């Protein structure tokens, strides 16, 4: 029979310090949160996203929607763009009157721009060299520099993720994504 082990005194001290009530945890998060952007910044950002959503709707209409039984290339971009436009319109109304949730722009805001630019780069490279290499590079950049992963884990996860997408979309579903292999 195995004797019951007593916990180490230091681990008890650490556990007691880390246990916070939900109110204490909420107060800690509020103290560490970035400054609120304010209603004007929320309205402007909502209008920018609304413009992008409406542009997506117009571009997807040019591709053709088809029917639910026989969708054309514009069907899913249309649905996603419409959802983005509606949600940003709602946010424009709420953000104009509220505006306490949005974060003020900081140096971390550039991460979104870098993420968008690398995504555009991947889309431009896919027809030229297939989806595998641009996707691995995109995953690696996002994990290593935007996500803060270590070099080795970012490299391994990038390859695993792209292999999973390859297995799902090319091997299982037989889609016609431009590919190298």
| 55-66 pLDDT tens trace | 999 999 999 998
Neighbours of 124 (CB within 10 A): 10
Cα separation of 54 and 86, whole Å?
Answer: 9
In this prediction, residues 35-54 reach a mean pLDDT of 86
In this prediction, residues 105-117 reach a mean pLDDT of 86
Cα separation of 169 and 92, whole Å?
Answer: 36
How much of the chain, in percent, has pLDDT values that exceed 90?
A: 46
Cα separation of 52 and 138, whole Å?
Answer: 22
In this prediction, residues 155-163 reach a mean pLDDT of 96
What pLDDT, on the 0 to 100 scale, is given for residue 69?
87
Neighbours of 138 (CB within 10 A): 21
Tell me what the pLDDT averaged over the chain comes to.
Answer: 85
Q: Residues 158-161: contacts with CB within 8 Å, 24+ apart?
A: 161/135
How much of the chain, in percent, has pLDDT values that exceed 70?
A: 87
What pLDDT, on the 0 to 100 scale, is given for residue 92?
87
What pLDDT, on the 0 to 100 scale, is given for residue 14?
52
- The whole-model pTM stands at 0.59
Cα separation of 48 and 33, whole Å?
Answer: 24
Q: Which residues face 71 on adjacent strands?
A: 66
At residue 106, does pLDDT exceed 50? yes
Cα separation of 177 and 170, whole Å?
Answer: 7
What pLDDT, on the 0 to 100 scale, is given for residue 6?
61
Q: Where does the pLDDT of residue 134 fall: very low under 50, low under 70, confident under 90, or very high at 90 and above?
A: very high
Q: Which residue has the higher pLDDT, 105 or 128?
A: 128
Cα separation of 120 and 98, whole Å?
Answer: 33
What pLDDT, on the 0 to 100 scale, is given for residue 1?
47
CA distances from 126 to 66, 171, 177 (A): 25, 18, 9
Interacting residues of 20 by C-beta distance below 8 A, sequence separation 6+ = 28
At residue 98, does pLDDT exceed 80? no
């Amino acid at each position: 029979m195995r004797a019951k082990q007593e916990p180490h005194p230091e681990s008890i001290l650490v556990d007691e310090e880390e246990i916070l009530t939900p109110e204490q945890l909420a107060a800690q998060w509020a103290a560490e949160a970035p400054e609120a952007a304010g209603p004007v910044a929320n309205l402007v950002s909502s209008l920018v996203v609304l413009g992008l959503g409406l542009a997506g709707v117009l571009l997807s209409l040019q591709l053709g929607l088809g029917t639910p039984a026989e969708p054309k290339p514009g069907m899913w971009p249309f649905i996603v763009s419409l959802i983005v436009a509606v949600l940003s319109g709602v946010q424009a109304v709420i953000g104009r009157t509220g505006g306490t949730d949005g974060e003020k722009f900081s140096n971390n805001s550039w991460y979104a721009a870098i993420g968008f630019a690398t995504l555009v780069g991947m889309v431009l490279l896919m027809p030229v060299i297939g989806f595998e290499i641009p996707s691995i590079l995109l995953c690696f950049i996002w994990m290593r520099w935007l996500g803060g992963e270590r070099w080795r884990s970012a490299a391994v996860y990038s390859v695993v993720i792209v292999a999973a997408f390859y297995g799902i979309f090319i091997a299982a579903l037989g889609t016609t994504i431009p590919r190298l292999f």
